[in-house]
Amino acid sequence: MRITRVRLFEVRLPLVHRFQTSSHAKSTLDHILIEVIDADGRVGWGEIASPAGPFYCSETTSTAWDICVNFLLPTVLDADWDHPEQVDALWSRIRGHEFAKAGLVGAAWDLWCRAEGVPLGAALGGTRDRVRAGVSLGIEATIDDLLTQVAHQVEAGYHRVKLKIGHGWDIEPVRAVRGAFPDLDLHVDANGVYASDDQTLDHLAELDAFGLTMIEQPFAPRDLLGHARLQRRIGTDVCLDESVVDLHDLELMIALAAGRVLNIKVSRMGGLTVARAAHDMARDAGIPVWCGGMHEFGIGRAANVAISSLPGFTLPSDVSGSDKYYARDVITPPVIARDGWVEVPAAPGLGYQVDVEWVKANTLRSFDSAEV
Ligand code: OSB
Ligand code: MG
């Protein structure tokens, strides 16, 4: 296959509910949607779901735009490849910028799957026709507000709730939610805000009392040793997110026993091809995985649903329905969760139609390789 033209759209959508983590807060998101077009006029879509600011990782929407336009696209345009697995090799000299790479390789997967007439999930090796979804809830102004949010999502049928925690918002909100929902599959995510000193290890060990499924990324991304110390200290499973951006990180996590669960984020790991390889490696090591989200619009969300259909994704993924995030998504139909399950589409590629008019109506800036 040969991609001969690429269009980028930086699209802003408002979130239906403001989201706050230990590292940042947001009410709107600016994601870059990528349309790749081949010599026969076939198209594929991908999404760069980078946050606007460098608080989750070092990338931003602007760096992703720059890297995509000036470094990734020149390696991809007019290059020949037979399978999307080969696309990462085109930019092997470009370090980092996983979110930008994920958007472009995702578009290549969609293009190839549509050309071959196969659904993305099956092309990746998926074995399920529906996946279990959980929701991620931000830090709220009060514990009552949080309880309202949890009740709302439990009522909607979601199978697991994850709570964002941080300094001053950890033990007490968890105690309150656990008290009100004794049987809920509950876990917490600190987005790396804590220091891994002895006093903090003691503090986090208090969470063992609440029967959490896991504690996600308590310490800084590169603090693998801190996570290994915590995992030795507590009974609750430690899950890594920000710490694992490539397969070497995952090998290190396994070798150090720095956690017992892996959050595979397609964006954080540079796209579907690496994410699938991480799934395989984790599976061989006996580490259960689930698919994390970055509040993706429908295009990235559909890719997350597809990879969540692989057999090692045994825990609920952050693939909630579009309506949890956006009043109107960029795909039709939107992603729908029923009783906490999301269907894996059987149609070719991502399995959804991109609403190009809605994309254009919300575009802040665009780029077309045919116009340069
Ligand atoms: O750590 O999982 C995270 C959103 C932005 C930055 C980091 C994270 C998140 C989420 C979103 O938890 C989950 C979702 O997309 O549903
Ligand atoms: Mg996380």
pLDDT string in tens for the chain (372-residue length):
999 999 999 999 999 999 999 888 999 999 999 999 999 999 999 999 999 999 999 999 999 999 999 999 999 999 999 999 999 999 999 999 999 999 999 999 999 999 999 999 999 999 999 999 999 999 999 999 999 999 999 999 998 999 999 999 999 999 999 999 999 999 999 999 999 999 999 999 999 999 999 999 999 999 999 999 999 999 999 999 999 999 999 999 999 999 999 999 999 999 999 999 999 999 999 999 999 999 999 999 999 999 999 999 999 999 999 999 999 999 999 999 999 999 999 999 999 999 999 999 999 999 999 998
Sort strands 160-164 and 43-48 into parallel, antiparallel or unpaired: unpaired
Ligand 1 atom closest to Cα of residue 318: 16
Residue ID of nearest Cα to ligand 1 atom 6: 294
Chain-centroid distance of CA 71 in Å reads 23
Q: Is residue 149 part of a domain?
A: yes
Q: Same structural domain for residues 253 and 162? A: yes
318 lines ligand 1 (CB under 6 A): yes
Distance 238 CA to ligand 1 centre (A): 17
| DSSP E strand boundaries for the chain | 3-20, 25-38, 43-48, 130-132, 135-137, 160-164, 185-189, 215-216, 238-240, 261-264, 289-291, 331-332, 337-338, 341-343, 353-354, 363-368
Task: Find out whether the beta carbon of 136 lies less than 6 Å from any atom of ligand 1.
Answer: yes
Residue 265: active-site member = yes
104 lines ligand 1 (CB under 6 A): no
Can you give the pLDDT at residue 367? 98
Q: Which of ligand 1's atoms lies nearest the C-alpha of 135?
A: 16
pLDDT given for residue 294 in this prediction: 97
**How many Cα neighbours within 13 Å face the side chain of 44?**
32
CA of 292 to the centre of ligand 1 (A): 7
Q: Does pTM surpass 0.85?
A: yes
pLDDT at site 64: 98
Contact 361, 154 (CB under 8 A): no
Note if 324 is an active site residue: no
Atom of ligand 1 nearest to the CA of 320: 16
Q: Are 45 and 33 spatial neighbours (Cβ–Cβ below 8 Å)?
A: yes
Task: Please indicate, yes or no, whether residues 94 and 154 belong to a single structural domain of this protein.
Answer: no
- Ligand closest to the CA atom of residue 216: 2
97/69 same-domain check: yes
Query: 298 and 335: one domain?
Result: yes
Q: Are residues 16 and 138 in the same domain?
A: no
Tokens of 34: 């990528």
Residues 126 and 198 in one domain: yes
Helix (H, G, I), strand (E, B) or coil at 305: helix
C-beta of 189 in contact with ligand 1 (< 6 A):
yes
| 162 and 203 co-located in one domain | yes
User: Are residues 184 and 243 located together in one domain of the fold?
Assistant: yes
Range of the domain at 156: 122-343
C-alpha of residue 87 to centroid of ligand 2, in Å: 27
36 lines ligand 1 (CB under 6 A): no
Number of domains in the chain: 2
Could you tell me if 173 and 110 lie in one domain?
A: no
Residue 305 and residue 158 share a domain: yes
3-state DSSP assignment of residue 279: helix
